[in-house]
Structure 1
């Protein structure tokens, strides 16, 4: 404001303030009605523009009332979305409904109206379980130090692409980090035991002390 009142050019002001001259030009042009330039009024106008530029999203009071009614009727967010789409009504995705619900934006509903009471859990993973060796947590504590050779970590790696059930069994020796991978047709316990036998056959007897 002071430099502008002194009659300095935008480039001179930019050099003095360490800004690009285009930034100064835009600021002055944006507040051309505030002649002479007034820093306080310019800041106030900026804050008003920022508040007006915040997107309102898809939230409406009317839609909130409809969502609350359906949730109280034990409809799941997925069912609500599908029904609204079938009737040609504007709607949001089910993830948005869950987000509004957990954020408390649906004032007349809470997670207790969901069929799973907000405690939906994924079923325990049963694929790839195999009865080979002991869990790492069950091994002697001295094994964790990685001072001795012959203690292995076993795991499976599955591609997230396509519909193939194929995967790879991985074997890592804890001390040397020696890595071995055996391809398997699926994640069954039988396939894992076969892969273990193939891996073990590649090394002398005694190399696999624990796995």
Structure 2
């Protein structure tokens, strides 16, 4: 059965079953990881167990790189060795080099007898090589790092500054990751007391980041990503494809919907007098797109802002598909980003956008659409849209 069914059969949460599969064990509010980490979720403290005293069973069961022999392979070696097969034959059956099999037997055979479980235990113990952090002991390197952290330098800035200021001193080298570990992980460097003022975020523990393919969907309705957008949208050959975003006022208390047509750079502005929730943005977008001729309702490209949680209802009402950009990729809506920069001439950052009425927005849109653009051969967006409407 799959994991979800097995968890239901045992009577545990699906996340707990996943942790068990990954070798994570629970002791009260503490989770112990196979690599030796112990995370206390009541205090937020992360510690490392010395690998020398880490339970041997956890290390024996840890997932390893494929280049290492597994316990099952060692059992096959012992069985085939007793049957009298040569080292090269054993290697061929296991898909390993004969020299690998020879080193394994030479290293762990006792009085000519090779035992798989004994060999695996000895090899596991030999892998433990505890190493102190570079920042664990006082010295010029730690003083330099501590001094720069006090000046709110980032770990990456510090590690590059070391190379510039001490070009010939290899002892004055530390990676950004080592600095982060010294700050975040207790007993890995003693920099914990500086954490409050050391980093811009002020976090006392790391924020996990998931791979893009493992992230939870932002909306209940499944998003259509920009990679699925038709090719004619990308080359701007077919008009009617729009890019959208919000211009947000001071304190995120007010906003304006901005739409830009990719071919003509024509701008439409939507008035949000009461707020910019998903429902309010949806109710402004539907009449804004609905005022366009049918052949100018091709698609809408937006970022993954929470204001587009109602994208499915918008598509049902207008028959216009919404394509979402990848996270942190504003260049995928370049025309809209550029137009928002031009609009800031009329709506400066830090101002209250509630002071502008729908009539004010229409006037600004007309002015922007009346500006000649270099990318349009010094024609205006209004002229390009007029030519388009008269030729269709």
The reply to whether residue 86 of structure 1 matches residue 161 of structure 2 is: no
Pairing 1:48–2:125 present: yes
Shift in alpha-carbon separation, 1:150–1:43, aligned structure 2, 3 A: same
1:200 correspondence with 2:385:
yes
Q: Which residue of 1 aligns with 2:305?
A: none
Determine the structure 2 residue equivalent to 1:39: 116
Distance in 2, matches of 1:12 and 1:83, equals: 53
1:113 counterpart SS class:
helix
- Alignment of 1:114 onto 2:189: no
In the alignment, the residues of structure 2 paired with residue 32 and residue 81 of structure 1 have an alpha-carbon distance, to the nearest angstrom, of 48
| Structure 1 counterpart of 2:134 | 59
Greater length-normalized contact order (CA 8 Å, ≥ 6 residues apart): 1
Cα RMSD, aligned residues only: 5.1
Distance, in Å, in 2 between the alignment partners of 1:200 and 1:24 is 74
**1:28 — aligned with what?**
105
Paired with 1:57 and 1:206, the residues of 2 have a C-alpha distance of 74
Q: Shift of the alpha carbon at 1:116? A: 3.7
- Contact 2:91–2:101 (CA under 8 A) maintained in structure 1: yes
Q: Does the 8 Å CA contact 1:75/1:114 hold for their aligned counterparts?
A: yes
TM-score by length of 1: 0.50
Tell whether the 8 Å contact from 1:111 to 1:117 is kept in structure 2 after alignment. Answer: no
* CA apart distance, 1:61: 1.2
Could you list the runs of 5+ residues in structure 1 that have no partner in the other structure? 120-124, 156-173, 178-182
Alignment-derived partner of residue 7 in structure 1: 84
- Secondary structure of 1:43's match? helix
Any idea what the Cα deviations from partners look like across 1:9-56, whole Å, max 9, x if unmatched? Answer: 2244456x544462433432443565211222211222133324x8x5
1:82-161 to structure 2, matched below 5 A, reads 82=161, 86=165, 90-94=172-176, 96-98=178-180, 100-104=182-186, 105-107=188-190, 108-114=192-198, 116=200, 118=202, 132-134=267-269, 137=282, 138-140=284-286, 148-151=294-297, 153=300
Distance 1:115 1:14 in 2: 52
* Number of aligned residue pairs: 170
CA distance in 2, matches of 1:154, 1:75: 38
Partners of 2:145 and 2:180 lie apart in 1 by 12
User: Judging changes above 3 Å, is the alpha-carbon distance between structure 1 residues 30 and 206 closer, same or farther for their aligned structure 2 residues?
Assistant: farther
Distance change >3 Å, CA 98–CA 38, structure 1 → 2:
closer
* 1:140 alignment partner, SS class: helix
Asked if 2 retains the 8 angstrom alpha-carbon contact of 1:74 and 1:115, the reply is: no
TM superposition score normalised by structure 2 = 0.31
Aligned pair in 2 of structure 1 residues 36, 115: CA closer, same or farther (>3 Å)? closer
The gaps in structure 2 that reach 5 residues or longer are: 1-77, 204-246, 249-257, 261-265, 271-280, 303-319, 324-333, 344-367
8 Å CA contact 1:14, 1:21 repeated in 2: yes
Q: Counterpart of 1:133 in 2: which secondary structure? A: strand
- Work out whether residues 181 and 189 of structure 2, in 8 Å CA contact, stay in contact via their aligned partners in 1: no
